[in-house]
Amino acid sequence: MAQTKRKSGRGRSRGRGRGGLVPEESAEARQAAQENQLQDLVLNLPHDVLQQLALELLRRHPDVYMDLVNGEIPNQPPQADPGRLTNQPPPADQQPLNQYPVQPLPDQPPPVDQQSPNQPPPDQPPPDQPSLDQPPPDHPNEDLAWCYCGACRSMPTQTENKCCCKRRMQCMTTMPLFQHIVLDANVLEIQMRYREDILAMAHHRNNENFRHAAYRQFVLWHHGKLGKGDRRVVPSCCVLAIRARYPSANGFYVGFRPARL
């Protein structure tokens, strides 16, 4: 009888487990933790990195830019824990006047008073650099006889070895229209929104999606709307310009994929 009682006792103890259920974190706690992580990330970034990040975000999200211009986004920074304020810049009245001088854009010449005496005037190219208005030499790349613009590079497949022009002339990537239609983040953002609305889909905004949108934009610009399965090769120089504007984090690119038969 004693053995029977011990067995029944062990049987009753089974199924109870060794502990109760672990309480799940509430949605408010998760949201607060995520907000703290975002604040820690932003507050520990250098000031110049924050400026570059803000410019890139405004380029990719024109709606945020319009909200900021219209005053719908408050100009005051969020109230954060003072203990996490590590790299926050000092107030404006405590900063030196020339701490963050305005830098000229890459396509703009520096001011005249900042140019060195030996530097040529802005309207004249340096002696060793040809002007963009002049056509490139016959074959700037002796190994690439198919390149006429001088900006192409050998691609992984022979199909992708294509130039933007069929005779010696200025590369298409240097033209303002290419910069606006194919590389401008605001134009690509509108294109992706329209495509997502038609296909009832949504994608994250990263460099990979911006590259694919730029490829589609170039094909639509030069070849018009194509039927299903009709794919066109983007010239090598244009592909390189798109990849330079929206690079891959790991340096891996898919390349051209022909349509399935």
Give per-residue pLDDT as tens, 209-236: 898 899 989 988 888 776 676 678 899 9
Parent domain of 199: 143-245
Out of 70, 92, 118, pick the residue that ends a domain. 70
Query: Would 6 be classed as within a structural domain?
Result: no
As given in the structure block, the two tokens for residue 82 are: 């003072």
Q: Which of 75-79, 112-116, 149-153 has the lowest mean pLDDT?
A: 112-116
Nearest CA to 172 out of 129, 234, 128 is that of 234
pLDDT of residue 241: 94
Mark whether 147 and 240 lie in a shared domain: yes
Contacts 24+ apart (CB under 8 A), 208-213: 208/246, 208/248, 210/60, 210/185, 210/245, 210/246, 211/242, 211/243, 211/246, 211/248, 211/253, 213/188
Angle at which helices 62-69 and 185-199 cross, to 10°: 120
Report the predicted TM-score, pTM, of the whole model to 2 decimal places.
0.46
Q: What average pLDDT does the chain have?
A: 70
Please indicate whether residue 93 or residue 130 has the higher confidence score (pLDDT): 93
pLDDT of residue 242: 94
pLDDT of residue 108: 41
Query: Would 193 be classed as within a structural domain?
Result: yes
Please indicate whether residue 75 or residue 186 has the higher confidence score (pLDDT): 186
Task: Give how many domains the chain has, as a whole number.
Answer: 2
Mark whether 58 and 152 lie in a shared domain: no
Query: Would 259 be classed as within a structural domain?
Result: no
Residue 3 has pLDDT above 70, yes or no: no
Query: Would 197 be classed as within a structural domain?
Result: yes
Q: Which residue in the block uniquely carries the two structure tokens 């009682």?
A: 5
Out of 70, 86, 116, pick the residue that ends a domain. 70
Nearest CA to 245 out of 198, 219, 202, 213 is that of 213
Chain segment 16-71, per-residue pLDDT in tens: 445 555 555 676 777 788 788 888 888 888 988 888 888 887 776 666 666 666 66
Query: Would 182 be classed as within a structural domain?
Result: yes
Please return the burial class of 63, using the count of CB atoms within 10 Å of its CB with bins 0-12, 13-18 and 19+.
exposed
Query: Would 61 be classed as within a structural domain?
Result: yes
CA torsion, ordered 78, 80, 86, 88, to nearest 10 deg: 20
Query: Would 128 be classed as within a structural domain?
Result: no
Out of 70, 94, 126, pick the residue that ends a domain. 70
Query: Would 84 be classed as within a structural domain?
Result: no
